[in-house]
Amino acid sequence: MTFLDRMRPGQKGRIIGFSDDGPVSRRLVELGVIPGQSLEYVRNAPLRDPLEIKIGASFLSLRRAEAALVAVEIEK
């Protein structure tokens, strides 16, 4: 297990959960970042913040601080 902000572009994984239950985590769930979903880390912005992920057919840009809340199991 790792966190989304520690992944590298091109890696795929499955969302396990969140490190806290605050308003940011609840907002991520509203955006479709749901435990059990598969995701792909697409790319970083030029200064590494924000990062882009793909969940299903949707692309989301997340700040590193937000991505640090998402626990992920990396697919091998």
How crowded is residue 38: how many other Cβ atoms within 10 Å of its Cβ? 13
pLDDT at 53: 97
Residues of the chain with pLDDT under 70: none
**pLDDT in the model for residue 7:** 96
Number of helices (H) and strands (E) in the chain: give both, helices first. Answer: 2, 6
Residue 76: the pLDDT is 78
This prediction's pTM: 0.90
Q: H-helix or E-strand containing 51?
A: strand 51-55
Query: Which CATH number is correct for 2-74, 2.30.30.90, 3.30.565.10, 3.10.20.30, 2.170.120.12?
Result: 2.30.30.90
